[in-house]
Amino acid sequence: MSRARAALTALGSWLDDRIGLAPLRAMARKKEVPVHGHTIWYYLGGMTLFLFMVQIATGVLLLFYYRPSAEGAYESIQFLMAEVQFGWLVRSLHSWAANLMIVTLFVHMFSVMLVRAYAPPRDLTWMTGVILLVLAMSFGFTGYLLPWNELAYFATRVGTQIIAVVPLVGDFLLRILRGGDDVTGATLTRFYAIHVALLPAVTVTLVALHVFLVQRHGMSVPDEVERAPGPKRSMPFFPNFFLRDLVGWLIALAILAGLAAYMPAELGPKADPFAPAPAGIKPEWYFMFMFQTLKYLPAHILTFEGEAVGIMAFALGGLFLFLVPVLDRPKPGAKPSRFFFWAGIAIIVFIVVMTYLGYTADPTA
């Protein structure tokens, strides 16, 4: 026992000499996490990070069997689900963790927005976060096509066609995105490259920056807590907050395992470019609010095509989110505007209502 401990200490100092662990240790000892009524939201970012790590691990495992071609992709997933030991589990974990990660990401983002935790100096942290949301949705969009099933095929046809509304270069961008004029095997290899190489590289880099910035500025404390009289409470990051964070990870893992085991990912029929789109075609749920909004728009708004207007509106909405810390600059000493709080609430209500309608409204009505 004592010999093992001595060996560990020796290894520790050997590493310390080479890497310089002392500042890290000092930081971990010094770091405090504020304790107040909103502390619960601090765990959502960590849960998102955990789910992202699950995605990397299960994604690497899927690569051992997946074949990225229009002829082989669907069959390789069938083989994975039916023949490979625990293949269904790995794919279901990957699919469910993706969904849960988007959930925690949304909750994380809106909790930050509603308590104005994006205020400088955390504005850059917020902006990297909004980019990470876009990256996560791009992961979802590209990954959805990879099994090459009917639902994903048509959802991708629709989803990619949307880029054609960009003025002047729309058709050109569409060709680049699809690798041709239609969604084909060429689209599949493109999406595959984006999904397993490009996005992971960019995302890992940005996550590192995001987490570094969180460390750099510490946890944000909501204004109302800051102004409240009385002493401020806090807990040490290590081990108190760290262990609670781990509990958050375990909760996420438990939910994930339950969903993957009891509701494994489905595959459906293989994509057929020469079959009519099935009636139930739908995108992933986190695109549903946009998909549903497009259904309600008339063919023409003024002189523009309806969907072009809708898509521009969503693009502007995304830009608005990105720029919230720049737009919300209260004058020194003045109370911050409630506009951004209510804008956040309005966005949440819009997303929830449209998503609900997307799953309940009769598609043939």
Partner 1 sequence: MSHTSHSPSSSRRSFLDRLSATSLSTWLLRVSGGGFLASVVYPVLRYLVPPEGGESAASSVTLPFPPAELEPNSAKIFKFGSRAGILVRTPAGELRAFSAACTHLGCIVQYRPDLGEIWCACHNGHFDLNGTNVAGPPPRPLDAFAVNVRGDQIVVTKGD
Q: How many CB atoms sit inside 10 A of residue 263's CB?
A: 11
Residues 311-350 binding partner 1 (CB under 8 A) are none
Smallest separation, CB 149 to partner 1 (Å): 15
Question: Which residue spans within the chain are E strands per DSSP?
Answer: 32-35, 233-236, 300-301, 304-305
Residues 269-308 binding partner 1 (CB under 8 A) are 273-281, 294-295, 297-300, 305-307
Per CB under 8 A, the segment of 29-37, 90-98, 172-180, 332-340 that binds partner 1 is 172-180
Listed in sequence order, the residues at least 6 apart from 151 whose beta carbon sits closer than 8 Å to its beta carbon are: 268, 278, 280, 281, 282
Among 91, 122, 157, 195, binds partner 1 (CB under 8 A): 157
Smallest separation, CB 365 to partner 1 (Å): 7
CB 77 within 8 A of CB 267: yes
Number of residues that bind partner 1 (CB under 8 A): 36
CA dist 322 and 86 (Å) reads 40
365 SS3 class: coil
Closest CA to 45 of 93, 124, 97, 112: 112
Per CB under 8 A, the segment of 39-47, 123-131, 153-161, 244-252 that binds partner 1 is 153-161
Per CB under 8 A, the segment of 55-63, 169-177, 197-205, 315-323 that binds partner 1 is 169-177
72 SS3 class: coil
CB 213 within 8 A of CB 124: yes
CA dist 107 and 250 (Å) reads 18
Smallest separation, CB 346 to partner 1 (Å): 24
Q: Which is nearer to partner 1, 244 or 270 (CB)?
A: 270
Closest CA to 123 of 112, 107, 114, 132: 112
Smallest separation, CB 70 to partner 1 (Å): 13
Can residue 226 be called a binding residue for partner 1 (CB under 8 A)? no
Smallest separation, CB 325 to partner 1 (Å): 32
Q: Which is nearer to partner 1, 52 or 153 (CB)?
A: 153
Residues 245-274 binding partner 1 (CB under 8 A) are 273-274
Smallest separation, CB 184 to partner 1 (Å): 8
Among 16, 182, 224, 226, binds partner 1 (CB under 8 A): 182
Residue keyed to tokens 């004592």: 2
Smallest separation, CB 192 to partner 1 (Å): 15
The two most distant CA atoms of the chain are separated, in Å, by 80
**Residue 180: C-alpha distances to residues 211, 224, 247, 319 (Å):** 38, 54, 47, 29
Q: Supply the angle between the helices 87-114 and 306-327 in degrees, to the nearest 10.
A: 60
Per CB under 8 A, the segment of 2-10, 138-146, 152-160, 257-265 that binds partner 1 is 152-160
Pairing assessment for the beta strands 233-236 and 304-305 based on DSSP bridges = unpaired
Q: Which is nearer to partner 1, 151 or 252 (CB)?
A: 151
Smallest separation, CB 249 to partner 1 (Å): 38
Per CB under 8 A, the segment of 65-73, 79-87, 151-159, 232-240 that binds partner 1 is 151-159
Binding mask of the shown chain, residues 99 to 138, with x at each position contacting partner 1 by CB under 8 A: ----------------------------------------
Q: What does the block give as tokens for 279?
A: 């009636």
Residue keyed to tokens 């209500």: 349
Binding footprint of partner 1 on the chain (CB under 8 A): 154, 157-158, 161-162, 172, 175-176, 178-182, 184, 186, 273-281, 294-295, 297-300, 305-307, 363-365
